Each structure stands twice: as structure tokens, then as C-alpha cells.
Amino acid sequence: MLYNIHYDVCAMVIFAFILLLIYTRKDNSKASNWLFFIFVSLGMLSAVSDIISSYYISYPERTTHFMLDFWNYFFLSVHNLMSYVCVIYVIFLIGLEQRMRPYSWVLVSLPGAASLLLIFGNPFTQQLFYYREGHLYTHGPLFFHLYALSFFNLALSIFLVLRFKKALPLPKVLSLVICVLFCVIPITIQMFRPYLLIELFFESIGLMSILFAIENEDEIRDTITGAYNRFAFIRDMELAIHTRTPLTFVTVKLFNFTYSNTTFGVQYMNHVLRDMTVWLKSQGRRTSCYVFSGGRFAIVQRGADKEQMAGLAERIRERFDLEWAYASLSVVFPAQICLVAMPDEVSTMDQLMLTIETPVGETQSHSEIVTSDTLHSYQREVLIQQKMKEALENHAFEVYYQPIWDKGSGRILCAEALVRLFDEELGAIPPDEFIPIAERNGMIMDIGSFVIEEACRFYADNHLERFGIDYLEVNLSVVQCMNHHLPGLIREILAKKGLKPQQLNLEITESAAAGNKAALEKTVRELAGYGFTLSLDDYGTGYSNYSYMFALPFKIIKIDKSILWSALDCDNQRGEFSSMILLENTVRMLRQMQYRVVAEGVETVQQKALLESLGCDYMQGYLFSKPLPSGAFLEFVRTFGK
Ligand code: C2E
Ligand code: CA
Ligand code: CA
């Protein structure tokens, strides 16, 4: 025997082992999985044919010329295809295939095609190999060209891996580079020592390293359903974002999953989830299904356009309105289905994960398809939540002051403190938007304390009483009022700044009463007991029980700007006659009840004149000034009326 076939035998065993592992794996739905399978199969066929052809070359007298030829050509074809498949595998692994134009495919395939041309042209050219007398196998002058073409493919693979290295985690980049080097080095050795036959052995080890580093999917599989898990989703989507691959995916979220889990039991639900996964995966050959906790799925169909994905969403909706049967129990689990297009609708990983994490609404009896717009409002809320958190940490909230004019004295009597949030990315975020979010997530306590503290500091540091500013008004949110520590907290801040309770006025919105009335009443009474003046804000917008509100110790009532504007809008157009009557009577009634009355939203001289004629005590609005940052506010009061 001239050739050492021991390495080939070992390679055959390793290839067989890898094929077995691929075969026993649950899911090989991705194109790169298939290409890896082809890659290893070609290795296996190369090893087998190399052994046979080496044997025949060594003992040509034991075979026919045809058999000798057949195994030689077979080996050369499958082995040379390996380097071509290596390039294609790398392209799919990185996710470049969707960006490749037809001519790029042609270019990439040229070396592979040239090798095949050399091989199958050999019977006519005898340039690759020929037989000397007595069937003696001999390399021809073009044999090294075959090596060169393989080298070219391997070099291209390494180039692509390194060029797009950010698309893959470092261990995967390393294992790919090692695998290619494990092909290049032994081929070089074998070029000069053809009898060693070490190529395939090293290649099999290289492929083994890929199997463990890249194709081993244990950590990216959901243990219950065997489908891809959250890690896999993040990995695949990061790749798509990085390679700018447009992609549409469908999210499926079961309504009220926790309830179903407790009602039907975890075991039952696991079966259902498994059935759902199988069904979702069966919706097309190139379908990948990712499973998340809480009965959520994401489905990607490679190569499908938006229209096909819309069709898939519709099929899913229909299926999720039908029962899932297991163990004599058949139950319908309606789901919310959403079509998300990348990069048109979402373009960052955070936005992408939000599409999965966005909670679904109340329990519904039917499945529904929603547009990604519904996710956007939630996404904005989460973004604002994040901005508020950062702003609290970095002390980035600001307080502006809007002067309030006193008709009696004709001067600026006080000012309302209004919180502001400016963000580089989002610009000015209006308090009407972020305060309700802060109320929902509890941040309002910290924001509220900051505003009170900042307003007190501003008043004390600048001795605003010297400017004729009797007090500052601070808005209190419903949630703050429900906290029984609030009065103590405000007193502490005030004491720290050496201010009197009369120098702080607290505005409470009438809708605050819609919450826990008893808690509100306790807080309000306690605050009044400490000597704070209280204003009832936004009067006329809610539907609260006025007799109840009037029983609380408010001294000032702020009529909501909408009441003024419907009587006389900012273009000085008179509104409905009834609106005017409402305004007139509101002011009159409140004054009769001994309240001091503030009108907000005064923008025109005509509105001011109207309010004066009605006997409104104080006015606030753009006519006097918009809310101003502290410095500008000081300047404003210093120069007002001069
Ligand atoms: P609000 O308490 O009714 O405050 C008055 C709002 O009307 C302010 O809006 C003010 O800028 C605006 N405004 C005053 N005069 C005029 C006018 O002539 N024309 C127009 N178009 N608008 C006028 P802003 O500052 O955007 O605040 C909106 C709401 O956010 C406030 O309504 C209040 O409910 C809430 N808010 C603001 N700051 C705070 C705060 O520190 N704490 C709490 N809990 N809520 C706050
Ligand atoms: Ca207010
Ligand atoms: Ca108001």
C-alpha cells in the first residue's frame, strides 16, 4: 500500500459521529444547518472514496480501469466541492444570502465551477492526472490549479468571517477560522507529501469544532418545546440588524397565559405549547419558531415577503380560534398576533425585544391581529420611563415657573412650578405625557419630591418674597396624595429651607378624588392643618362630587382653561352662549362661596378683560408669560410693570 489510509479511516469515524449528532438533533430548519449537513456529508463521501481510490491506485492490478477512474473522479469532485460549500455555509451563517445579487452568486461559484470543469475535462485533456503504463496514477501539470482553486475558496471564507466578524460571537469566529486553517495547512503539506492523506482527518476535526461552537444548539433551545429560545432570537436578530437584512416576523401572544397555567395546570399547558410550536413550525419549510416565556412566540419565514407573512398571520389567527386538544380536554387559547417589519417598524434590538415584551390586553374570546402601532405607544412609554429614570439619576429634571397675576394689585402675586424634561433624543417631553406614566410606575413620588425641593430652594435662595412673590404653587399628583408620609415629607423640606407653610401652595386636581377619598381627605386635612394653602386644580373638567370637594379645606379654585376657551377662545371668537353662561356662573358661584378664583390659559387681552369683568381674582396664561426657567422668571418679575 503506497498511501497511508489510517488518517482517512479516523476521518470517516469522526464524520460519521458528526452526522449522527446532526441526525439526532430536533430541528435543522435553518439553511445553515442544512449546508453544514452537506459539508459533513461531502467530507464523509470524500473519506470513503479516498480510501477506495487510494487502494486501487496502490494495487491497480486488483481492479478494472473503469473502477479506478470512477473512484478517482468521484473523490476529486466531492472533495473539491467541500471548499465551495464552505464559502456558501459561511455566507448563510453570517446571513449575507439575502443581500447577494445573482451576479454575486455567479462570482462566488466560479472557482467551484472551474474545479468541476478541470475534473470532468480531464478524460479529454489528461492535464489533471493520467495513468502511466500499468495503470500508474500520475498528477498532471494542472493538478496544482485544483489546489489553487480550493485555496481561493478557503481564503474567501476566512475573508468573509473576518470582514463580518461583528455578526458572530468571538468563539464562533475563532472556530470558523480554526476550521479553515485546519483545511489549509494539511492541504499544503499534502501537496508535497501526497501519500500522507492527512487532509480529511484535519478537516473532520475542524468541522467537529464548528459542530460544538456553532451548530451545538443546546443553549439556544427551549427545554419544553425544543424550539429556539430567547437567546436564539436575540442572536439571529442581532445578525439580521448587523447585516441590514430586511425581515418580517410574526409575534403570537396567548391572552392571559398565567391564568391558563393555573386553571389547566403547567403540564397540560406544556403539551399545548409543544403542539402550538409543532403547528407553527409546519407553516412552511423555511419557518423558524422562537418560544418565549409567558406563552409567546415569534415566527420567521426566511425569504418570505410582507404579503406572505400577512397570509401566515391570518392562518395563525384562524388556527388560534380553534381548540387544542390534549388528554380529553379541548380548549381554545386566543392569541394576539402582530406583524413586525424590520427595519421599517423596528430597527434596534431594544425595540425588537419590546415587540415581544409588550403586554397583551385583557382576556379576549377571539384571536386578533394588531398592527405594530399598538406596540409603539407601549414602546414610547417604556422609552419615557427609561428617560425619567436617567433624569432622576442625573438630576436632569428642570422646574419652570409661570407667573400668576393678581387683578387687585396688578402685580405678579405668585407662580406655578411646572416640571420639565428635555432629552437629547426625544426633545421636550411634555409633562402631560410623562406624569401619567410616572404615576403608573411610582416614579411620581421622586419627581414630586424633587419639584417641591427645587421650588423651595428657588424661593429661599432668591428671597422671592422681596420680589413680591407671596408663594409658589406646586402640583400634587393623585398618587402623591395617597401617600400618608407626604405631609411630613413636605414639612421637612420646608423646614430645611427655612420657609413658612404659607409660602407654598399645593394644587390638587379634582379628579384626585376619584381615587381613595378617605386617604385624600386625610392628606388634605393634614396639609391644611400645617398651614399650607390648597388649590383645587382643573376645576370643571371632572365629574367629581362637588359637595364633597367643597367640604375639603381648599382656599383657591383654578378654573380649567378649557372652560375659558369655550366661552372665548384665543382668537377671541365667542363660543356657545351656554359656555359663556357657564363661565360667568362658575366664577360668580365660587366667589360667593368665598373662594379665591384663578383662571388659567389667558392668552388675549379680550380674555383678560372678560375675566376682570366677571370678578376673577387671579389670572395665569401666555398673555402674561409662558412658564420660564428660573433665571428668566427672576428677570420677568424684576421688570414686570416697569
Ligand atoms: P396644569 O396643572 O393644569 O398646568 C397648567 C398647564 O397649562 C401648564 O402646562 C401650562 O404651561 C399650561 N398653560 C398655562 N397658561 C397657558 C396658556 O395661556 N395657553 C396654553 N396653551 N397653555 C397654558 P404644562 O406645563 O405642559 O403642564 C401640563 C400638566 O402637567 C399640568 O397641568 C399638570 O397637570 C402636570 N404637571 C406639570 N408639572 C407638574 C408637577 O411638577 N407635578 C405634577 N404632579 N404634575 C405636573
Ligand atoms: Ca396646576
Ligand atoms: Ca389646569
What is the C-alpha to C-alpha distance for residues 324 and 433, in angstroms, rounded to an integer?
Answer: 42
Q: Please name the amino acid found at residue 350.
A: D
pLDDT digits (tens, 9 = 90+) for 150-184: 999 999 999 999 988 877 778 888 888 888 888 88
CA atoms within 13 A on the CB side of 64: 3
CA-based diameter of the chain, in Å?
126
418 C-alpha to ligand 1 centroid (Å): 6
- Which of 600, 602, 607 best tests ligand 1's pocket when mutated (most atoms within 8 Å of CB)? 600
pLDDT digits (tens, 9 = 90+) for 72-127: 999 999 999 999 999 999 998 887 887 788 999 999 999 999 999 999 999 999 88
Give me 41's grid cell: 456529508
Angle between helices 143-163 and 102-125 (to 10 degrees): 160
Residue at which a domain ends, from 183, 216, 249: 216
Domain check: are 268 and 321 in the same one?
A: yes
User: CB under 6 Å to ligand 1: residues?
Assistant: 402, 418-419, 430-432, 435, 448, 451, 475, 477, 537-538, 600-603, 620-622, 627
Give me 285's grid cell: 419549510
Q: What is the pLDDT of residue 511?
A: 65
Q: What is the pLDDT of residue 28?
A: 66
Q: For ligand 1, atom 46, which residue shows the shortest CA distance? A: 475
Domain check: are 159 and 193 in the same one?
A: yes
Residue 609 covered by a domain: no
Domain check: are 314 and 412 in the same one?
A: no
537 C-alpha to ligand 2 centroid (Å): 6
Residue 446 covered by a domain: yes
431 C-alpha to ligand 1 centroid (Å): 7
CB distance 85 to 232 below 8 Å: no
Q: For ligand 1, atom 42, which residue shows the shortest CA distance? A: 475
Residue 601 covered by a domain: no
- DSSP string for residues in 99-165: G--HHHHHHHHHHHHHHHHHHHHHHHH--SEEEETTTEEEE-TTHHHHHHHHHHHHHHHHHHHHHTG
Q: Return the ∠ at Cα 586 (arms to 580 and 590), rounded to 5°.
A: 155
Domain check: are 142 and 98 in the same one?
A: yes
Residue 504 covered by a domain: yes
Q: Which residues contact 38 (CB under 8 A, 6 or more apart)?
A: 85
Looking at residue 212, what DSSP letter applies?
I
Counting residues of the chain whose pLDDT is more than 90, the rounded percentage is 55
Residue 41 covered by a domain: yes
Q: What is the pLDDT of residue 138?
A: 85
Give me 591's grid cell: 366667589
Identify the CATH number of the domain in which residue 162 sits.
1.20.1070.10
538 C-alpha to ligand 3 centroid (Å): 4
589 C-alpha to ligand 3 centroid (Å): 19
Domain check: are 212 and 236 in the same one?
A: no
Identify the CATH number of the domain in which residue 452 sits.
3.20.20.450
Domain check: are 554 and 525 in the same one?
A: yes
Residue 607 covered by a domain: no
Residue 31 covered by a domain: yes
Structural domain for 20, as ranges: 6-216
Residues lower than pLDDT 70 in the chain: 1, 26-29, 217, 361-363, 510-515, 542-545
Strand 471-476, strand 411-423: pairing: parallel
Q: What is the pLDDT of residue 225?
A: 87
Q: Give the count of domains, the chain.
A: 3
Domain check: are 400 and 472 in the same one?
A: yes
Report which bound ligand comes closest to the CA of 601: 1
Q: What is the pLDDT of residue 566?
A: 93
CB distance 131 to 137 below 8 Å: yes
What is the C-alpha to C-alpha distance for residues 480 and 435, in angstroms, rounded to an integer?
Answer: 12
What is the C-alpha to C-alpha distance for residues 597 and 343, in angstroms, rounded to an integer?
Answer: 53
CB distance 599 to 618 below 8 Å: yes
Q: What is the pLDDT of residue 118?
A: 93
Domain check: are 167 and 235 in the same one?
A: no
Residue 220: name the closest of 232, 236, 238 by CA: 232
- Cis peptide, bond prior to residue 343, ω within 30 of zero: yes
Domain check: are 465 and 547 in the same one?
A: yes
The length of the chain in residues reads 642
User: 455 to each of 194, 257, 305, how far by Cα in Å?
Assistant: 87, 46, 56
What is the C-alpha to C-alpha distance for residues 573 and 603, in angstroms, rounded to an integer?
Answer: 13
